[in-house]
Amino acid sequence: MHASKRLPSPRKTVLALATGLAASLTLSSVQAGDVEVLHWWTSGGEAQAANVLKELMEDEGHTWEDFAVAGGGGETAMTVLKSRAMSGNPPSAAQIKGPEIQEWGELGLLGDLDGVAEAQQWETLLPETVAEVMRHDGHYVAVPVNVHRVNWLWANPEVLDDAGVEMPATLDELFAAAEPLREAGYIPLAHGGQAWQDATLFEDIVLATAGTDYYRRALVDLDPEALGGEPMIEALSTFKRLRELMDDDMSGRDWNIATSMVIEGDAAMQLMGDWAKGEFTAAGLTAGEDYLCAPAPGTQDAFTFNIDSLAMFRVSDEGEREAQEDLARLVLEPTFQKAFNMAKGSIPARPDLDMSEFDRCAQQSLADFQRTADEGGLVPSMAHGMAVRAAVQGAIFDVVTNYFNDSDMEAEEAARRMVNTAQAAY
């Protein structure tokens, strides 16, 4: 039952060495337990990477019970989680992120990870911005898995060359590139007309036109003055102008179809988070050569983050409790951080790792992460549920997507609605 009863594998020995400090700090009375993990890492690459974690857990003698539920960027998994919590039978760990961690914490359902955090020195290991999201009421209740950057622009260099345009660094350059691209027969910007994708573009534009301070006031603190103010109206009008860069058939299109339009050379660019890299990689393309990445135009000094994390539920079984702590520790081990983040396109949650095996975009991402963290440009992504609670996020989505798709609605009207609905949804 215990790991010690198994034959010691060379791999495990290496691992034990690698884990060093942390391993020596785990409690001496190792108990094996079952962890049921609810997550939505279901794509081939993700699943393989997550499998690394599973194997690490099994090497410690624990049993990993896999509960994967895909759909709607975790929406379905959250539904399952709520019904499991209602029945008094939550899983041991679940993929929960952002402010939602706080909501679960308020319900008193999460267990704390302070022991592991102290042993592994999370205070120094994790950037403060990341650590803050993982704490509820001063206690660590979740462990970060990765950091996605949302404000990226992806492009097909051949298409850009063919139309004679450069990778745009500002919004003006982006809009200016539209005409030559159209004339050369390309769609300037590939986009999928789904609420979250609309919102992803919207927050890029807010950052580009009004800057990070304003972004924080409007979309994180929900200051009504900022939300309904002049910068919002300007951002909304600019946002709607992006339609000129898109094709007519975008409605309902999945984001990865939009990415494949860039890969196929039908479209020149796409604004999307760094998970888009998975599509390019799968198509056999190399970052920096076959496809280009750059911060979304006008947002060089901003980094909108989207952090995946695993929250641990309060359990009574001692073995399960041990397993949860081991799980939290192993998530932050270099082995898993590297394997998982290279598959997912994100950067590790701990910035101290050697990034040489990562591609250029990831390297730039980490550099920008640290730079923006120092300069104050590191902001949570509203579109990806990091900035505000789900109710408010949904209300903003409704306004943004409706405004984007309704040719008659004025920006002033949309800004006014934004203030009202954000307040109504509290």
Alpha helices in 91-229 (DSSP H): 99-106, 114-119, 122-125, 128-134, 157-163, 171-183, 195-215, 224-227
Stretch that binds another protein, among 35-43, 204-212, 215-223, 288-296 (CB under 8 A): 35-43
Size of the site for another protein (CB under 8 A): 76
Tell which residue, 260, 297, 356, has the closest CA to residue 176: 297
Q: Does 69 bind another protein (CB under 8 A)?
A: yes
* Residue selected from 1, 14, 18, 65 as contacting another protein according to rule CB under 8 A: 65
Take residue 30 and report the two structure tokens written for it: 């190792």
Tell which residue, 293, 259, 261, has the closest CA to residue 276: 259
**Within a 10 A sphere around the Cβ of 279, how many other Cβ atoms?**
22
* Residue selected from 229, 278, 297, 319 as contacting another protein according to rule CB under 8 A: 278
Tell which residue, 23, 38, 17, 28, has the closest CA to residue 82: 38
Stretch that binds another protein, among 227-235, 317-325, 370-378, 384-392 (CB under 8 A): 384-392
* Residue selected from 9, 13, 24, 42 as contacting another protein according to rule CB under 8 A: 42
Residue 343: partners with Cβ closer than 8 Å, 6 or more residues away = 45, 46, 48, 49, 278
Q: Which helix (H) or strand (E) holds 417?
A: helix 411-424
Stretch that binds another protein, among 48-56, 122-130, 138-146, 323-331 (CB under 8 A): 48-56
Q: Does 67 bind another protein (CB under 8 A)?
A: yes
Residue 287, beta-bridge partner list: 291
* Residue selected from 24, 48, 121, 423 as contacting another protein according to rule CB under 8 A: 48
Residue 308, beta-bridge partner list: 146
Stretch that binds another protein, among 4-12, 41-49, 128-136, 158-166 (CB under 8 A): 41-49
Query: Least distance to another protein from the beta carbon of 42, Å?
Result: 4
Which lies closer to another protein via its Cβ, residue 79 or residue 286? 79
Q: Mark residues 331-350: x for contact with another protein by CB under 8 A, - for none.
A: -------------x------
Query: Least distance to another protein from the beta carbon of 36, Å?
Result: 6
Which lies closer to another protein via its Cβ, residue 125 or residue 391? 391
Which residues between 291 and 310 bind another protein (CB under 8 A)? none
The CA distance from 150 to 335, in Å, is: 24
Cα three-residue angle 25-110-275, rounded to 5 degrees: 85
The CA distance from 61 to 330, in Å, is: 13
Which residues between 192 and 211 bind another protein (CB under 8 A)? 193-195
Stretch that binds another protein, among 38-46, 123-131, 171-179, 233-241 (CB under 8 A): 38-46
3-state helix, strand, coil in the chain (%, to 5): 55, 15, 30
Which lies closer to another protein via its Cβ, residue 171 or residue 384? 384
Cα three-residue angle 294-299-305, rounded to 5 degrees: 85
Which residues between 114 and 173 bind another protein (CB under 8 A)? none
Q: Does 44 bind another protein (CB under 8 A)?
A: yes
Task: Give me the phi and psi of 154, to 5 degrees please.
Answer: -110, 145
- What is the Cα 130 distance to its own chain's centre? 12
Q: Does 79 bind another protein (CB under 8 A)?
A: yes
Which lies closer to another protein via its Cβ, residue 38 or residue 171? 38
Q: Mark residues 235-274: x for contact with another protein by CB under 8 A, - for none.
A: ------------xxxxxxxxxx---x---x----------
* Residue selected from 404, 414, 415, 422 as contacting another protein according to rule CB under 8 A: 404
Q: Which regions of 19-171 does DSSP assign to beta strands (E)?
A: 34-39, 63-68, 93-95, 135-136, 139-140, 142-149, 152-155
Stretch that binds another protein, among 119-127, 154-162, 219-227, 391-399 (CB under 8 A): 391-399
Q: Does 85 bind another protein (CB under 8 A)?
A: yes
